[in-house]
């Protein structure tokens, strides 16, 4: 292997082990053995397991952050933005299961924690806050509570995503529809059979087409 190929191999191996055991439960010996190399090779490329872990987390953060930023800046109706944002997170969980496990294992969602996933969700809440503030103002509601509602929305999506990570039921589109059903209609206005809007259905179809290519 070239140096770059070896580096990528170690990243793949580390990603899998960190997802299964966490950074504390994974040793340099395990990483080296799984990659079929000696321990000095791991140190040469990353300086140890902590350096490898940092690169793995950074890559996952960049991937998810880029996807969420795109979803939350899509010019659309607020409900459609919520749907696409929920679908974007569920897409990431589905396609990068190991990456999501790594982010949430050592970076809890609860507010006040400094961690990759928690920081990313806080950033997402900040973006949602602006969307909600505009919607509240347009409806004559108090825009000052928009930050609180933003935290509620993002928190519900993130925690539901962690639940769905293991169950994978119901279907991803149905999960997104139910999340937005609660967020959009509230408990007193729940629809009996929530469905995604046409914009979100198009997003699902496009995502399937991309994976098929």
Q: Cis peptide before 170, with omega less than 30 degrees from 0?
A: yes
Q: Comparing C-alpha atoms, which of 112, 184, 122 is closest to residue 151? A: 122
Over the stretch 75-106, which tens digit does the pLDDT of each residue have? 888 888 889 989 999 999 999 999 999 988 75
Separation between Cα atoms, residue 98 and residue 13, nearest integer Å: 11
Over the stretch 192-210, which tens digit does the pLDDT of each residue have? 888 999 999 999 999 888 8
Separation between Cα atoms, residue 67 and residue 30, nearest integer Å: 32
CA separation (Å) from 22 to 107, 113, 122? 11, 18, 23
Over the stretch 37-61, which tens digit does the pLDDT of each residue have? 999 999 999 999 999 999 999 899 8
Q: What local confidence, expressed as pLDDT, does residue 136 receive?
A: 82
């Amino acid at each position: 292997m070239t140096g770059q190929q070896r580096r990528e191999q170690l990243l793949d191996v580390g990603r899998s082990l960190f997802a299964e055991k966490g950074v504390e439960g994974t040793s340099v010996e395990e990483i080296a053995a799984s990659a079929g190399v000696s321990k000095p090779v791991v140190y040469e490329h990353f300086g140890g397991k902590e350096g490898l872990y940092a690169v793995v987390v950074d890559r996952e953060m960049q991937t998810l952050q880029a996807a969420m930023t795109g979803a939350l800046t899509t010019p659309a109706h607020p409900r459609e933005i919520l749907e696409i944002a929920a679908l974007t997170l569920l897409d990431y969980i589905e396609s990068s299961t190991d990456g999501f496990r790594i982010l949430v294992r050592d970076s809890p969602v609860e507010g006040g924690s400094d961690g990759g996933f928690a920081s990313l969700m806080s950033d997402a809440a900040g973006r949602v806050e602006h969307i909600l503030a505009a919607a509240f103002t347009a409806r004559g509601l108090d825009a000052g509570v928009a930050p609180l509602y933003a935290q509620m929305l993002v928190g519900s999506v993130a925690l539901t995503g962690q639940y769905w990570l293991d169950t994978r039921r119901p279907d991803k589109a149905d999960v997104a529809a139910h999340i937005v059903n609660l967020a959009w209609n509230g408990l007193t206005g729940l629809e009996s059979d929530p469905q995604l809007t046409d914009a979100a259905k198009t997003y699902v179809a496009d995502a399937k087409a991309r994976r098929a290519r």
